[in-house]
């Protein structure tokens, strides 16, 4: 029995003190770009004013079923890949991993989606941080692209490391701003370093003021090993975006909790971004 954090302390306040209100809205698929092999980047319309309030690390919950069907029953969470206040749009990176995402990745432009969001907390960039290191595994590339956009706009330096099964599954460099250093690793050596993306991390740890990571559990495992072998005094700090099966997305069902040093937390509201050292892995 653990004394729980007060649930009222849920943090609905995004970066910069902007209160970001979640809502259920209709969104039109404006464009579909095939990317990373079987995945797709979807460009979606947003209610007026929402794009500018979105922060890197947040996600949206998309209902992935034909109207009139109850299957798949639950929404699917997607990190926001990019947001553009000028065109009032956002982009999602969708990998057809399960039934819901396979349905979504194959929707044609013009489809109207039922979207709930924005949800979750945000990556926190220290105002004094000059150099940011991104560590992406597969479809985990998504929230780090938006963070990269915002970091560059704020005048910071970004190195983006990405790992995937093979060259086809890597995020094309054209999706990243040109002044980002982009280094890649593949499981089969078809491009970049032959091995894990985390093999590339040690040489950047002295340069980076902060590290941000998103990827599969196996990547977090090796990132923790690299961090414990190569970091000094717990620096630089590492923020991770975790993935859990979710139902409500609003902190009500308690299905997606993450055990942290501060007790059980809902990854949909108190997460999905955590300091890696605060999570009980």
Partner 1 sequence: MRWSGEGSVGFASRENRSLPSDGETDGRRLMAAPSLAVDLAPGNPRELVLANPVIAASGCFGYGLEYAEVMDVQRLGAFVSKGITPKPRSGNPMPRITETPAGMLNAIGLQNPGIRGFVKKYPKLWEAWKVPAIVNISAESVEEYAMMARILDEQPGVAGIEVNISCPNIAAGGYCFGWDAVMSADVTRAVRAATTLPLIVKLSPGAVDIVSVALAVEEAGADAVSLINTLVGMAIDVRTRRPVLANATGGLSGPAVKPIALRMVYQVAVAVRIPVVGMGGIMGLNDALEFFFAGANAIQVGTAIFAQPGMLIRLIDDLEDWLRREGVGSVREIVGVALPAGLPTRQAATEADVEIDFAAAVAAG
Least distance CB 72 / partner 1 (angstroms): 6
Least distance CB 49 / partner 1 (angstroms): 16
In angstroms, the CA 108 to CA 32 distance is 7
Closest CA to 208 of 174, 243, 239: 239
Q: What values do phi and psi take at 135, rounded to 5?
A: -130, 110
Least distance CB 201 / partner 1 (angstroms): 26
Token pair recorded at residue 35? 């990317």
CB 107 within 8 A of CB 56: no
Least distance CB 132 / partner 1 (angstroms): 29
The upper half-sphere exposure of residue 228, i.e. CA atoms within 13 Å in the direction of its Cβ, equals 7
Binding mask 108-147 for partner 1 (x = CB under 8 A): ------x-x-------------------------------
96 near partner 1 (CB under 8 A): no
Least distance CB 246 / partner 1 (angstroms): 8
63 near partner 1 (CB under 8 A): yes
Token pair recorded at residue 165? 């099964």
Site residues for partner 1, 8-37, by CB under 8 A, read 8, 10, 12, 21-24
Do the bridges between strand 89-94 and strand 39-45 make them parallel or antiparallel, or are there none, so unpaired? Answer: antiparallel
* Binding residues with partner 1: total (CB under 8 A): 40
Q: Specify the residue, 117 or 163, whose C-beta has the smaller distance to partner 1.
A: 117
DSSP reduced 3-state for 8: helix
Q: Which of 16, 67, 70, 108 forms a contact with partner 1 (CB under 8 A)? A: 70
Q: Which of 55, 75, 231, 237 forms a contact with partner 1 (CB under 8 A)? A: 75
167 near partner 1 (CB under 8 A): no
Q: What values do phi and psi take at 270, rounded to 5?
A: -80, -15
Least distance CB 43 / partner 1 (angstroms): 24
Only one of the segments 29-37, 102-110, 210-218, 262-270 lies at the binding site for partner 1 (rule: CB under 8 A); that segment is 262-270
Q: Specify the residue, 97 or 207, whose C-beta has the smaller distance to partner 1.
A: 97
The upper half-sphere exposure of residue 35, i.e. CA atoms within 13 Å in the direction of its Cβ, equals 23
Q: Which of 47, 252, 262, 281 forms a contact with partner 1 (CB under 8 A)? A: 252
The upper half-sphere exposure of residue 271, i.e. CA atoms within 13 Å in the direction of its Cβ, equals 33
Q: What values do phi and psi take at 200, rounded to 5?
A: -85, -15
Closest CA to 58 of 275, 241, 213, 279: 241
CB 182 within 8 A of CB 176: yes
Least distance CB 174 / partner 1 (angstroms): 35
Least distance CB 58 / partner 1 (angstroms): 14
Name the H helices within 91-206. Answer: 99-105, 141-153
Q: Which residues bind partner 1 (CB under 8 A)?
A: 1-4, 6-8, 10, 12, 21-24, 63, 70-75, 114, 116, 244-258, 263-264, 269
């Amino acid at each position: 029995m653990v004394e729980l954090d007060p649930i009222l302390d849920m943090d609905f306040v995004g970066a910069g003190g902007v209160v970001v209100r979640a809502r259920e809205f209709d969104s039109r698929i404006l464009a579909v770009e095939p990317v990373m092999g079987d995945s797709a980047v979807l460009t979606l319309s947003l209610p007026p004013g929402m794009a500018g309030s979105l922060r890197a690390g947040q996600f949206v919950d998309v209902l992935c079923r034909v109207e009139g069907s109850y299957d798949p029953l639950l929404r699917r969470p997607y990190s926001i890949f990019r947001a553009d206040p000028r065109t009032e749009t956002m982009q999602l990176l969708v990998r057809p991993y399960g039934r819901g995402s396979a349905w979504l990745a194959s929707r044609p432009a013009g489809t109207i989606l039922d979207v709930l969001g924005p949800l979750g907390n945000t990556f926190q960039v220290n105002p004094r941080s000059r150099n940011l290191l991104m560590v992406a595994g597969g479809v985990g590339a998504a929230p780090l692209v938006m963070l990269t956009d915002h970091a560059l706009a704020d005048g910071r330096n970004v190195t983006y490391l990405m790992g995937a099964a093979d060259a086809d599954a890597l995020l094309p460099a054209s999706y990243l701003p040109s002044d980002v250093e982009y280094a890649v690793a593949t499981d089969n050596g078809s491009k970049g370093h032959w091995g894990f993306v985390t093999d590339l991390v040690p040489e950047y740890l002295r340069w980076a003021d902060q590290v941000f990571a998103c990827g599969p559990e196996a990547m977090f495992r090796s990132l923790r090993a690299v961090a414990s072998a190569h970091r000094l005094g717990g620096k630089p700090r590492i923020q991770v975006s975790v993935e859990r099966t979710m139902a409500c997305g609003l902190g009500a069902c308690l299905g997606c909790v993450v055990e942290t040093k501060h007790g059980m937390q809902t990854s949909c509201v108190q997460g999905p971004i955590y300091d890696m050292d605060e999570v009980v892995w």
